[in-house]
Amino acid sequence: MDQWFDIKREQKDTRALLFKKEAAIPADQISFSGLAAWIGSKGIKHGVRKEVLNLIVENLDTYSFPAEIAKGKLPIDGKPAQLIPAYETECDVKVEESQKVDFKRLFTIPTVEFGEIVARKQAATDGIPGITVFGEPLPAKKGKDLHIKNGENTVFNAEDLCVYASKSGEVTHHKNVVHIYPVYRVQGDVSLKTGHIDFVGNVHIKGDVPSGFKILAQGDVRIEGVVEAAEIISQGNVVIGGGVLGQGKGLIRCAGNFTSLYISQGTIYAGENIEVAQTIMHSHCEAGQSVRCLNGKGNISGGTCIAGSEISANEIGNETYSKTLLYIKTNENSGQIKVGYEQKMLDLELNLKKLNQLKAVMEEKKMDKVTIDKIVNTILQTNHQLTELKEEKAANDNSLHSMVTVKGILHPNVEIGIGKYKRKVHSPFQSAKVFMEDKEIVIHSL
């Protein structure tokens, strides 16, 4: 059989492909049992596709090679730990292009009382192991743990994995911390009567924010109306129900997530994600993690969108070929940085091992309690440093998998940059993903 066929393995040995060589094969030399025995002699014993072997034997001259003769299963990595809100938050409402958005359905204001549970930690999962065509197990990676920090007016209980409110107020939720702030409410529009707003908690405005006004908030900013060419600076999240009409002058900057119905000629900076329901038109949007425009029309056209890891939309560009710039920020030294993180983590783990051994010896010899307490404190500090390093390494790893995704049409005259590489789109693509491959930006169909 070796003179007629060759076997190649793919996808971590979970797929075996049979290739036919150029040498002529006498029909009477190939049988199902003979072919199966030869495959078995190569060590392939799991997921053998007998129906494919039968087709090859029966249609040897016409069969289209290569043939998938065995299939294993890739491992499914575990899901990372998450901090799940225990209160009602921004609803995941799909917005159709022709529908009018009900702000009360799209955005709800989470409020809690003293002693309430405001969030629960969902533990990381172990994942599901895979198996190769040789019958060898493929271990799955356990999901990354999440270090929960105490926030403003909140306390995390490690025993029941719950975050409790230590004060009544409005809730601001981030990836691994929950804050509770007092709230400043404006029942209508921001005007000369209210003036500029500078508040140490959350700000909730029932109406619009006209041009020229400033809002500064330590917590979240929620605006039910339209924001014109105003300036909004938030240390939390910004939610705008009526959209942004920036007129090329306004500025919105937040440390967390930015969510809006639409953005037109606006300038937005978000430390985490930018989420827009309808359109991003002729605007400058910059997010530390992702820019997403996937509900309703979901169009990004004109202007510039910059993200740390992902840009995704239903449609990018338009039929008039407006120049649209997309850029994914990647660290060119991510590989070297990853090695650096791994070395630092190894050093800390070795140090932890020595500290725990020292603590055990000191306890066994019943040495001075003050000295033992100092060792315990050092162990706690080292564990905290190790947790922070793991989080930083995970963020760096994510930058290695940057991508632009388009569910609908990717139009011409869209320029895409990933790190130091650029590519201009000259022809339309339907349902595409754009990513780096062998130091080149490639466009593949979804």
Q: Give pLDDT tens digits for 194-246.
A: 899 999 889 999 999 999 999 999 889 999 999 999 999 999 999 999 999 99
Residues 361 and 423 in one domain: no
- Clarify whether residues 252 and 145 are in a common domain: no
Q: Are 180 and 186 contacting, i.e. CB atoms less than 8 angstroms apart?
A: no
In this predicted structure, the answer to whether residue 88 has a pLDDT above a threshold of 70 is no
> Taken in order 164, 166, 168, 169, is the CA torsion positive or negative?
negative
Mean pLDDT within 396-407: 74
94 contacts: CB under 8 Å, gap ≥ 6: 295, 296
Is residue 356 situated within a structural domain? yes
What is the model's pLDDT at position 400?
A: 53
What is the average pLDDT score of the chain?
Answer: 87
Q: What is the pTM of this model?
A: 0.61
Given 152, 180, 208, the domain boundary residue is 180
HSE-CB for 280 with a 13 A CA cutoff = 34
Greater pLDDT, 113 or 263: 263
Least confident among 65-74, 212-221, 232-241, 376-385: 376-385
369-398 and 334-364 helices, crossing angle to 10°: 160
Q: Is 338 a residue whose pLDDT tops 90?
A: no
Does residue 269 sit in the same domain as residue 407? yes
The whole-angstrom separation of Cα 126 and Cα 52 is: 34
Last residue of a domain, one of 43, 71, 99: 71
**One domain, residues 242 and 363:** no
Res 336 pLDDT > 80: no
My answer on whether 150 and 229 are in the same domain is no
Residue 226 lies in a domain: yes
Q: What is the pLDDT of residue 99?
A: 45
Euclidean distance between CA atoms 262 and 245, whole angstroms = 9
Looking at the structure, tell me whether residues 269 and 204 fall in a common domain: yes
The answer to whether residue 77 is domain-embedded is no
Domain hosting 198: range is: 186-331+401-445
Q: Are residues 321 and 415 in the same domain?
A: yes
350 domain residue, yes or no: yes
Element (H, E) at 358: helix 334-364
Is residue 12 included in any domain, yes or no?
yes
Residue range 43-61: average pLDDT?
90
Asked if residue 120 and residue 31 are part of one domain, the reply reads: no
Which residues are within 8 A (CB) of 52 and not within 5 positions of it... i.e. 6 or more apart?
A: 67, 68, 69
Picking from 32-36, 98-102, 164-168, 305-309, which range would have the lowest pLDDT averaged per residue?
98-102
User: Do 302 and 428 belong together in one domain?
Assistant: yes
Domain count for the chain: 4
**Average pLDDT in the 319-325 region?**
94
Assign 3-state DSSP to the chain and report helix, strand, coil percentages, each to 5.
20, 35, 45
- Is 312 part of a structural domain of the chain? yes
Q: Is 390 part of a structural domain of the chain?
A: yes
Q: Is residue 76 part of a domain?
A: no
pLDDT for res 395: 61
Q: What is the mean pLDDT of residues 288-305?
A: 92
Helix (H, G, I), strand (E, B) or coil at 34: helix
Q: Are residues 370 and 436 in the same domain?
A: no
Overall average pLDDT of the 404-411 stretch: 94
Element (H, E) at 360: helix 334-364
Domain end position, chosen among 71, 103, 125? 71
The pLDDT tens digits for 93-110 are: 444 444 444 444 445 557
Closest to 81 in 3D by CA, of 125, 50, 37, 34:
125
The pLDDT value given to residue 265: 96
Q: Please, are residues 67 and 17 in contact by the beta-carbon 8 Å criterion? A: yes
Q: Which has more pLDDT, 427 or 62?
A: 427
Does residue 374 register a pLDDT over 90?
no
DSSP string, 157-209: ETTTTEEEESS-EEEEE-SS-EEEE-EEEESS---TTT-SEEESSEEEESS-B
CB count in 10 Å sphere of residue 444: 11
Same domain for 327 and 393: no
Rounded to whole angstroms, the Cα distance separating 311 from 295 reads 14
What number is the average pLDDT over the span 268-289? 95
- 231 and 307 both lie in a single domain: yes
Kindly state the percentage of the chain with pLDDT values over 90. Answer: 54
Residue 203 and residue 222 in contact, taking contact as beta carbons nearer than 8 Å: yes
